[in-house]
Amino acid sequence: MGDAPSGATWGRVSHALFRAGRLHRVHAGTLLRRVGLYPGQEILLMLLWDEDHRAQADLIRALALDASTVTKMLQRLEQAGFITRSPSPTDRRASVVSLTDAGQALRDQVADLWHELEQDATTLLSEEETTAVTGILGKIEEGLQQRLPGDRDTDGPPARAEGSPRVG
């Protein structure tokens, strides 16, 4: 697995999550390139497959990413012909994101890629271990979610520690 930095001993679980997450994202990227997507774009498309014609602000909230990150994702998806953006009929300042026929057609391909990714990620796990790791990761996610501020501002800069210097 390569040399672990000395800091890896400061948080074994965090370091293991980092390593596995990095490899998972790299492998997902390799698979998604087959259909012209980058990692993360498929999650945005999944939201639209579940509910098309969504406000851009709703997608930003659902993805819990910076607005600039989601905007860049949307620009790339729009340039690729998978989505369109149009002014909201009720609020001219807002944009509505909609799937194109090409975006809708990606659904089955992405589902197949995700099944392949799941198989590759769990290839060394028994069914019981797969169930256990899913539960454990859910608990880790819940614990971290509880540590986030109540109204997480995804548009603003990262929070700074009290007393730390303001940058910029």
The answer to the question of residue 46 being in a domain is: yes
The answer to the question of residue 26 being in a domain is: no
The answer to the question of residue 31 being in a domain is: no
The answer to the question of residue 134 being in a domain is: yes
The answer to the question of residue 5 being in a domain is: no
Contact 140, 17 (CB under 8 A): yes
What integer is the mean pLDDT of 51-55?
A: 96
In this predicted structure, the answer to whether residue 46 has a pLDDT above a threshold of 60 is yes
Q: Which domain holds residue 85?
A: 38-147
CATH of the domain at 91: 1.10.10.10
In this predicted structure, the answer to whether residue 153 has a pLDDT above a threshold of 60 is no
Which of residues 137 and 92 earns the better pLDDT score?
137
The answer to the question of residue 154 being in a domain is: no
Residue 150's pLDDT is 67
CA distance 22 to 20: 5
Q: Convert the pLDDT of each residue in 9-40 to its tens digit.
A: 788 899 999 999 999 999 999 999 999 999 99
One-letter amino acid for residue 25 of the chain? R
The answer to the question of residue 138 being in a domain is: yes
First to last CA, the chain: 38
The answer to the question of residue 162 being in a domain is: no
Which own/partner contact pairs does 25-32 have at CB distance under 8 Å and 24+ positions apart? 27/117, 27/120, 27/121, 28/117, 31/113, 31/116, 31/117, 32/110, 32/113
What is the domain count for the chain? 1
**Structure confidence at residue 92 as a pLDDT band (50, 70, 90):** confident
Structure tokens at 82: 């998978």
Q: Convert the pLDDT of each residue in 98-136 to its tens digit.
A: 999 999 999 999 999 999 999 999 999 999 999 999 999
